[in-house]
Chains A and B, each alone.
Chain A
C-alpha cells in the first residue's frame, strides 16, 4: 500500500504546487503532504444572511486576534490560533496569518503578480545594504515567462526596469477620468503608474491551476491532514530520507520516505520545521533575516469633488492601478534606501470611520459622498536584518505536540521614514489631481499582517551566510530543498507569490536534472 516516492513535497500552495506541477510532468513521482484538509467548494460553503450569523458579522471575539483578514463569513478558512500558537514579545507583536488547507494561501490571496528586478536581486550592488541574491533577474526571467501564463496574469507592459514586463493577458481597458487625472499628476512628479497585474479567473489557486495537472500525470499522491513534525535523516549519509507526520484528526504518527525532500510549507512554517528537525543550519542563520512588506492601509483617503452628490458623469469614477516603485531608482533619498509602491482604487464610498459626524448628519454626508472615493494602500520594502528572527519556543506546543515558533520582528527608521514619505508624496499627488484629501496617515500594520513574510532560510553564494544555494538547495544537505518565501535574501515592495512560483519551478528543473544524473 505504501508507495515509493522520489520526492516528498511538504505543503501544497504556490511553491509546493509549482514543484508538483513541474516534477510530475517529467515523470517524477511525488508525495505531497499538507497539514490541512481538502476544501470542497460545493459542500463547504453556502450563501447566508449576515444576521443569521451568531455574532452579526463581528465574529467570535478573540477568535483571531492576529488575523485581521478573517471575518465571520470566512473565519473557518484561517488557521486556528489556539491550535497553532506562537509567541512574541508583547512590545513587538507579530501577526502571523496562516491557512491550513490544501492549496494554502492561494485560496485567499489578493492575486497581485509582480516580477522582481535586479534592484532587488542585486540590491547590495545598488545601495550597499545586505546581500545580493545568488540569482539575477536574467536567471529567473525564463521562469517568470512560464509561470505567468499558468497563473493567467493580466497587466499592461510599461518597459520599466524596476518592474519588468511579462507574458500577460494584456489589459487594454480604458482608465476612468479620475484615474487618468491621478496618473497625469503622478507622472508630472516622475512617478510611474500602471494597471494592476493580477492572476485572473473565478479561482486562481494551486488547487485549480497546479494540482489538477499534476494529478493527471498519475505521478502525484496528495495526502491531506498530515501535520509534518520532523524531517528525518539517514545517520549514515547525513541525507534526509523522509518525514514524520501526525494525522491531524486521529493524531496517529507516521513516517513517509523519499529520495528528495522539498519544503514549501509557507515561509515560517518551513523554517519552524527545519529548526524542529535540527538540520540545515551549519551557517547559524536559519531563522534570521525575517522581513516582509510593510503595509499602510488606506494611507491616503481622498474624494473626487466633481463626483459629490451623485453628480459623477459616466467614466469619472472606477478602476484602479498601481504606483510603481520610484524612490531610489535614479536618485538617492536622504532618509531611506529602497522603495515603496501603492495600490489605488477609484469609486465606492469613503468608510464611515473617516467621515466626521454621526446620525442624520453622517447619513447625509454618506449620501453626498457616494461613489467619490479615491484611496490607496502603501506597500513598502522592509530590510532583512539579522536581529529580526524566529526560534523554537520549547515551552509552547501546538495541538499535535510540535514546539511552536517564537518570533522577533520590528520595523526600523528606514521603514518609518519610507512610510512617511509615501503618505506625504501620494497625498500631494491627490491634491495635484484636484482631489480632496479626507484623511492621511503613515501608521503601518504590525509586522506579518501583510501576509508576505519572507526570509529566515535565505539563499546565498556563501554557505557561512546563507542556508540555501542558488537552486533553493540546502548547502548542508544536497537532497533537501526549500522553495517558498523563506528562501528570499531580500525583497521589494512587490507581492512575492509570482517570484515564489518562478523560484520553485527553477528549483524543480534543477532537481529533476540532478536526479536524472544520479546526483540526488
Chain B
C-alpha cells in the first residue's frame, strides 16, 4: 500500500493530465456501448452489523465447519458467506434473527459446557461433537437447536454456492453449476 508521502502532489498530477481529451473510439461513437461492471464484492468486504464480534467469530467457525474448502473449491469463508449472511440476517424479520441469535447462544453454551472453550476455537473433532444433531436422520419435528443448525446449514450452502468465487471455480468443472437464471426486471 502506498503511503501518503509517496503519492504525487496535486500539481504534479495536473501536469500529467492530457491537454486534449482523448477521442472516443469509433465504435463508441457509432453505437452506445455497454459498460462492463462488476459486483460490490470486488470492491471491499462486507461490514458486519448483526452478530457481536465474539458471536461472529463463532459463526464464522460454524460456516467453516459446515462448508470447508474442498479440493480447491472455495468454502464458506473463502466465499464470504459469513459476512454475507450477517448482512442478510441484519435485514431479516425478527423471527429469523431470533432463530440465529438463540441458536448461536446455544451453540456457544454447548461448546463451553462440552469443550470448555468457545466454539470459535473448537477444532474439527470438538466442533463435530457440538454439531452431532446434524448427522442424525432427518425428522419432521426437530428440537429448536437442531432446527437452527438445519437452517444454518442450508443458508451456508446457498450463500457459498451462489457466490462469485464458488461459481467461477465450479462452472469450469460441472456444467450444471453455472448459477444462471432468467431474471425478471421490475415490470412497469
Contacts and interface: CB of A to CB of B under 8 A. Distances in A.
Interface of A: 36-37, 39-40, 43-53, 55-58, 60-62, 65, 72-77, 101, 249, 301, 352-361, 363, 438-443
Interface stretch (B2-10, B15-23, B86-94): B86-94
Interface in B91-105: 91-93, 96
Contacts of B137: 356, 438-439
Given A76-B187, A440-B140, 11 more contacts: A36-B187, A45-B185, A51-B179, A57-B162, A61-B93, A61-B96, A77-B184, A355-B138, A357-B135, A359-B65, A363-B70
Q: Is the interface of A mostly helix, strand, loop or mixed?
A: loop
Interface residues of B, number: 43
B185 A47 contact: no
Interface string B142-180: 000000001001110111001110010000000000111
Nearest to B76: A359
Contacts of B41: 51
B44 interface: no
25 contacts: A40-B187, A45-B184, A48-B182, A48-B183, A49-B164, A49-B179, A51-B162, A52-B39, A56-B84, A56-B163, A57-B158, A61-B91, A61-B96, A74-B182, A76-B184, A101-B187, A352-B153, A353-B138, A353-B154, A354-B138, A356-B137, A358-B134, A359-B68, A359-B70, A442-B140
B72 interface: no
B180 A48 contact: yes
A75 B183 CA distance: 9
B36 interface: no
A45 B66 contact: no
Contact of B157 (A36, A49, A53, A352): A352
A334 B155 CA distance: 42
A414 B131 CA distance: 39
B162 A356 contact: no
Interface of B: 39, 41, 65-68, 70, 84, 88, 91-93, 96, 131, 134-140, 150, 153-155, 157-159, 162-164, 167, 178-188
Given A49-B167, A51-B179, A52-B39, A76 B186 contact: yes
A45 B135 contact: no
B99 to A, nearest CB: 12
Contact of A45 (B65, B180, B183): B183
B130 to A, nearest CB: 12
A101 B92 CA distance: 28
Given A61-B91, A438-B138, A50 B185 contact: no
Contacts of B162: 50-51, 56-58
Contacts of B139: 439
Max chain A C-beta neighbours (<10 A), residue from B68, B135, B155, B162: B162
B171 to A, nearest CB: 9
A324 B70 CA distance: 45
Nearest to A40: B187
Nearest to A65: B93
Instruction: Give the 10 A-B residue pairs with the shortest CB-CB distance, closest first.
Output: A441-B140, A50-B179, A48-B183, A61-B92, A51-B164, A73-B181, A56-B162, A354-B138, A439-B138, A57-B162
